[in-house]
Amino acid sequence: MELGIGIGWRPEIADAVERLPGVDWVEAVAENLCPGHLPESLVRLRRRGVTVVPHGVSLGLGGADRPDPGRLAELAARAEALSAPLVTEHIAFVRAGGALTASPRLEAGHLLPVPRTWDALEVLCENVRIAQDCLPVPLALENIAALVNWPDEDMTEGQFLAELVERTGVRLLIDVANLHTNRVNRGEDPAKALAELPVEAIAYVHVAGGVEKDGVWHDTHAHPVGAEVLGVLAELVSRVSPRGVLLERDDAFPPEAELAGELGAIRAVLAGISPTPPLPETLRGRGVGVLPGATPPDPLAGPAAPAPRFRGSAPDPAPQTPEGLKVPHSPEPARPALDTPTPSKGDESAPDTPNPLRGAGNCATSPPRLADERGGPGAKPPAASIKHPPGRPPRAFGKGRGGENPPAPDTRLTLALAQTSLLSALVAGTPIPHGFDPARLRVQARALAAKRADVVAKVAPELPRILGDAYRSAYLAYARSRPLRDGYRRDALDFVESLLKQDLDGDVARQLGRWWKERAGTRPQGRAARFLKGLVRAA
């Protein structure tokens, strides 16, 4: 099916998204939606015939554990509530530890890369099969941006994704900004990755902005889309005409006119107009090719090339007059993503209390495949397009998607130990595992802590107001030895408890004490709680 040109729906730009011309579809973070209380903006868009795709971030399909049935049921419920044609997730792990390793559960609050090894691939394939069987619509998986390299990998990213598609039949969501990120941070050529991909399996494409600092590219989703990323999109368009392309923006939201301009730049690349300035040297003339049988447009054809028109597309928008954006009010979701550990766009932890969505969904039936006009419904990429990397022989994975040969138990355990060791080094300050770049891990650890501080500031906006400029340094000092485990709201409470054990200014201590008492609920009182009780009484 054709999706067209889309934009990521976020509450902060909901009104602008509704006004932008030529938007065929939107994508919404699944964990931020409550199926019974969809935001009015999304309801209006759906009434206009705009497709809404739920984009999950909390499954952690690349982790050593099998997918949580409750999270799968919740994602399925959101897909059904939106009448979505597919759902998407990430090839990443977001948590580690727990029962498999007999160690405390750790949350990353971020999407972390899966080692591109044969063993990790086997675990991922079984997890994907489980997810496919539990979801009512097809699943597509996104490549992620990474700051760190796993040692001793067996495959390139393109080879890893190609093997995943062949073994499971899963679709791909290719983020060209993430390919550029990996070029800067890991020295991986986007053209080579695209040449190794079964591009017929691409469901749609993400485009987003970022920024380079001290030689590291940060995939912020808070900066304009640059020519480097548009160049990777042009490289992809030279190989296949994507069914959909979506602009992501998650922070530092610009005026509506700037969003319209970025969508226009994406349309220009799809029309074959070269990004300005020209493509980076690492992309020009390297690995540009066409899969057998494909007749793609020339990405450098110039303005005379006819623009591709998707279903329902409108003419390219003229610049809009910036207007004030209003955040629509909608009932609070049952488990909002900000209440729980949130990778990149929002991840959540399993709650301590039962969830009414737990256990929903039917995992016995296989979902329908995306209709593929090139090869009929459910068509898989032709076997000839898959080139197996050297090393372990291709494994027969049984019938259908994912097959009947699950990985051996020790394969999951080995992966679990490796991921727990890495995540513990990043969030708990334990020794860096052998083979990793210490400098790069320090950059990743600082990024995780900074993001965690940002999310806590959104969950508990009173804390930056009470602490002022001291908030960030105080929180980062707290987070250095206290991993995220029970969600961001619990984290905010624990942060305040830690502060109240210190020698604080009297007024600050009183404000924090009142804040904590109002939100601590029925949690059994410990020493800190008794101290707070006395402090508040004294005030």
Residue 169 has which token pair? 């039949």
Residue with tokens 């766009």: 345
Three-class DSSP category at 375: coil
- Burial pattern 62-86, b for ≥16 Cβ within 10 A else e, equals bbbbbbbebbbbbbbbbbbbbebbb
Euclidean distance between CA atoms 276 and 226, whole angstroms: 9
Cα dihedral value 528, 532, 534, 539, nearest 10:
160
**β-strand partners of 206:** 175, 246
With contact defined as beta carbons under 8 Å apart, do 335 and 346 qualify?
Answer: no
Residue with tokens 């995540």: 423
**The predicted structure's pLDDT at residue 388:** 63
Fold classification of 4-385 is TIM Barrel (3.20.20)
Three-class DSSP category at 366: coil
Using the Cα atoms of residue 82, residue 86, residue 92 and residue 97 in order, give the sign of their dihedral: positive
Three-class DSSP category at 40: helix
- The burial class, CB within 10 Å (0-12 / 13-18 / 19+), for 518 is exposed
**The predicted structure's pLDDT at residue 293:** 34
Three-class DSSP category at 5: strand
Euclidean distance between CA atoms 262 and 305, whole angstroms: 20
**The predicted structure's pLDDT at residue 73:** 98
Residue 281: phi and psi, rounded to 5, are -55, -35
Q: Which residues of the chain have pLDDT under 70?
A: 276-404, 521-539
Euclidean distance between CA atoms 289 and 281, whole angstroms: 17
**The predicted structure's pLDDT at residue 216:** 87
Euclidean distance between CA atoms 456 and 296, whole angstroms: 46
Euclidean distance between CA atoms 536 and 513, whole angstroms: 6
Residue with tokens 């488990």: 335
DSSP 183: H
Nearest by Cα to 472 from 454, 484, 494:
454
Helix (H) / strand (E) element for 128: namely: helix 118-134
Give, to the nearest 10 degrees, the angle between helix 506-519 and helix 527-538.
120
**The predicted structure's pLDDT at residue 278:** 41
**The predicted structure's pLDDT at residue 531:** 53
**The predicted structure's pLDDT at residue 445:** 94
**The predicted structure's pLDDT at residue 387:** 60
With contact defined as beta carbons under 8 Å apart, do 504 and 512 qualify?
Answer: yes
Residue 78 has which token pair? 């959101």
Q: How many other C-beta atoms can be found within 10 angstroms of the C-beta atom of residue 238?
A: 19
**The predicted structure's pLDDT at residue 51:** 98
Q: Range(s) for CATH 3.20.20.150 in the chain?
A: 4-385
Euclidean distance between CA atoms 539 and 513, whole angstroms: 10
